[in-house]
Amino acid sequence: MSSTTSSHGRRKVLRSLVKRAAIPLADASGSYAVQHLPEWMAKSGFDFARWRRIWTARNPGNDRADLARLVAFIEHAAIVEGEALPGSVAELGVYRGTTARLLHELLPGRTLWLFDTFEGFDERDVAGDPGATSGSFRFTDTSLEAVLRHIGRSTRVRACKGRFPETAVAVPAGERFAFVHLDADLQKPTADALEFFYPRMVPGAVLMVHDYGSRAWPGVAAAVDAFFADKPESPVRIPDRSGSVVVRKSKAPVQRAGRSPG
């Protein structure tokens, strides 16, 4: 038996053990869930273990267990690749590079723009934010060099160190985006990023915003709701831990209601 076949066999046995033991236990707890992978991932030769390793490598405990979020990244990157949407990838809020590396590997061949101070929150954004003042997170324990090492050798990464939106001046006028991930936690940078990226997203592009449903960071939902109030798209929540939302940029000009054709 080849090593691939035997590891596939081991995985099958483990999956069946999880089904028999863990699902009833999770049901009985009333608060935990064991979630199936989407069929196409579980039943094809898709190597979920590889993406899980990237997800857990540098993620703190609570976030590494948020596999619904990992699956959402994989699914939406597959849409962008499957539809061959043109454009780069951008992330605001990189911290130690977990989602940056994931996006870089899920969307190969595309430029990856990274925006972060790489020194934690800017105090000007923290002041007045509805969530930041009570939280203890500041994300100072990182560096741009460590993030680049984690992502690995690549000529496609454009790292913009400093406070967003000031750092957005590095983006050339014609740059367009197929996938944008916002994970800045605070209201002001989230609002600024929506203003900046939305008009630069190609039709069909994916926008993922983390923490929309988070009680710790209420400014994110405030920024998203205010921005999309007059846009044709509606953010849709996914069932991950912090209630991320996903938006696909409209492909067609908006039809105004109330006018009879002709």
Q: Which residues bind ligand SAM (CB under 6 A)?
A: 93-96, 98-99, 115-117, 120-122, 125, 139, 163-164, 183-186, 189
Q: How far is the CB of 197 from ligand SAM (least distance, A)?
A: 13
Q: Which residue has the tokens 């205010």?
A: 226
Q: How far is the CB of 63 from ligand SAM (least distance, A)?
A: 7
Of 88 and 98, which CB lies nearer to ligand SAM in the complex structure?
98
Task: Compute the residue count for the chain.
Answer: 262
Percent helix / strand / coil, the chain, rounded to 5: 45, 15, 45
Q: How far is the CB of 161 from ligand SAM (least distance, A)?
A: 8
Q: How far is the CB of 44 from ligand SAM (least distance, A)?
A: 27
Report the alpha-carbon angle 171-246-182, nearest 5.
40
Of 88 and 142, which CB lies nearer to ligand SAM in the complex structure?
142
Q: How far is the CB of 96 from ligand SAM (least distance, A)?
A: 6
Of 75 and 122, which CB lies nearer to ligand SAM in the complex structure?
122
The pair of structure tokens assigned to 189 is 């940078």
Q: Which amino acid is at 10?
A: R
CB contact at 8 A, 101 and 50? no
Of 23 and 144, which CB lies nearer to ligand SAM in the complex structure?
144
Strands 245-248, 201-209: pairing is: antiparallel
3-state SS, residue 116: strand
Of 185 and 240, which CB lies nearer to ligand SAM in the complex structure?
185
φ, ψ dihedrals at 119, nearest 5°:
-135, 15
